[in-house]
Structure 1
Amino acid sequence: MSQEAETAERVRELLDRNLQEVFGESNDQRRRAALDELWAEDGVLYAPPGAVRGRAAIDKVAGELRASHPDFVYTPIGMPQVVQNGGRLAWGSGRPGEAPAYTGWDVIIVEDGKIAALYVFLDESSEEYLRSSCQ
Structure 2
Amino acid sequence: MSSAVADLMRRNLLDVFNEPDPERRNAAIALTYAPDVVWHEPDRVIRGREALVQRAAELLAEFPGWVFQPDGPVSALDDLGHLGYRFGPAGQPPVLTGMDIARCKDGVIVELYTFVNGSSQPS
Please indicate the TM-score interval, normalised by the length of the shorter structure.
Answer: over 0.9
Aligned ranges 1:18-33 → 2 under 5 Å: 18-33=12-27
Superposed CA offset, 1:27-72 (max 9, x none): 1111111110111010011002111110000111111001111201
Aligned position for 1:132: none
Percent same amino acid at aligned positions?
37
Moved >4 Å (runs of 4+): none
Q: Provide the alpha-carbon RMSD of the alignment.
A: 1.2
Alignment of 1:1-135 (within 5 A): 7-125=1-119
**Hey, what's the Cα distance between the residues in 2 that align with 1:68 and 1:96?**
14
One-letter amino acid of the structure 1 residue matched with residue 73 of structure 2: M
Which of the two has greater helix per residue? Answer: 1
Gaps of 5+ in 2: none
Q: TM-score, normalised by structure 2?
A: 0.93
| Counterpart contact for 1:26–1:67, Cα < 8 Å | no
Q: 1:124: Cα distance to partner?
A: 3.8
Extract unaligned runs of 5+ from structure 1: 1-6, 127-135
Distance 1:124 1:95, change over 3 A: closer
Q: Secondary structure at the match of 1:78?
A: coil
Q: Could you say which structure has the larger radius of gyration?
A: 1
Q: Decide whether the 8 Å contact of 2:104 with 2:110 is kept in 1.
A: yes
Q: Report if the CA contact (8 A) 1:39-1:116 is conserved.
A: yes
> Could you tell me how far apart the structure 2 residues matched to 1:82 and 1:96 are?
28
Deviates more, 1:27-36 or 1:117-126: 117-126
Structure whose residues are more often strand by fraction: 2
Q: Distance in 1 between matches of 2:12 and 2:118?
A: 22
Q: Which amino acid aligns with 2:92?
A: E
- C-alpha deviation, 1:125, in angstroms: 4.0
Post-superposition offset of 1:99:
1.0
Asked whether the 8 Å contact 1:26–1:70 carries over to 2, the reply is: no
